[in-house]
């Protein structure tokens, strides 16, 4: 934890707080959005999800392919955030990505709670939380690192600070570390979450 603080958070706490508030706002809007979905669409979603749960224990899926797709999606998103940090003009898109990640998470949890009540909350806690212990911090710290680097570029262009090769290397290394953190979340999502899902379905 001290290692993470020293390389990502130190001297950047206000920006991190802003990103956390932004992410939480996305979760809140996603949860509220569940109630704005029209009845017909909501019923279709409920029906699809119910059929998925009913057949879940019978499903045999290719774990390697699932992990590959998950890694590809998450690494692509991290890569986009990294590249946005190298720009200045479109850097604010990072803010939209962080908000959208919160929105999707909030909608998913809100959907489960709306459908299963307190059991849905339990399902979300057991099947969504474990991998996101790694994935969410990876996204937040990636956004923090990229926005900070973009500000460094702005100050460099305004002749307010120096910028050397080491700054680029540090930025790259930070994102490599976050990629491994994301990989940890992906492994949990692939191999642990399905087991937890099976156990919770027996309770439901």
DSSP tag of 76: H
pLDDT reported for residue 56: 58
Averaged over 122-128, what is the pLDDT?
Answer: 81
Structure tokens at 181: 């953190």
Q: Output the pTM of the full model.
A: 0.88
**What span, in angstroms and rounded, lies between the C-alpha atoms of 137 and 18?**
14
**What span, in angstroms and rounded, lies between the C-alpha atoms of 3 and 69?**
30
For the cut 70, the answer to whether the pLDDT of residue 129 exceeds it is yes
Averaged over 71-93, what is the pLDDT?
Answer: 90
Structure tokens at 147: 């926005």
Top-ranked range on mean pLDDT: pick from 12-16, 160-164, 177-181 = 177-181
Averaged over 141-162, what is the pLDDT?
Answer: 88
3-49 pLDDT per residue, tens = 666 576 777 888 999 999 999 999 999 999 988 877 777 777 777 77
Band of pLDDT at residue 93, cut at 50, 70 and 90? very high
């Amino acid at each position: 934890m001290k290692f993470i603080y020293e390389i990502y958070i130190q001297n950047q706490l206000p920006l991190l707080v802003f990103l956390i508030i932004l992410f939480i706002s996305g979760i809140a809007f996603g949860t509220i959005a569940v109630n704005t979905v029209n009845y017909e669409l909501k019923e279709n979603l409920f029906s699809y999800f119910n059929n998925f749960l009913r057949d879940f224990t019978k499903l045999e899926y290719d774990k390697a392919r699932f992990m590959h797709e998950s890694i590809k999606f998450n690494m692509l998103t991290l890569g986009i955030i990294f590249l946005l940090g190298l720009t200045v003009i479109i850097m604010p898109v990072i803010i939209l990505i962080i908000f959208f990640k919160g929105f999707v998470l909030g909608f998913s949890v809100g959907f489960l709670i709306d459908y299963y009540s307190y059991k849905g909350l339990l399902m979300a806690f057991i099947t969504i939380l474990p991998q996101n212990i790694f994935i969410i911090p990876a996204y937040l710290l990636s956004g923090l690192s990229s926005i900070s680097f973009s500000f460094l570029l702005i100050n460099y262009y305004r002749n307010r600070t120096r910028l050397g090769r080491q700054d680029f290397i540090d930025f790259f290394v930070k994102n490599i570390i976050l990629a491994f953190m994301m990989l940890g979340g992906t492994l949990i999502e692939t191999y642990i979450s399905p087991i937890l899902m099976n156990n919770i379905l027996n309770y439901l």
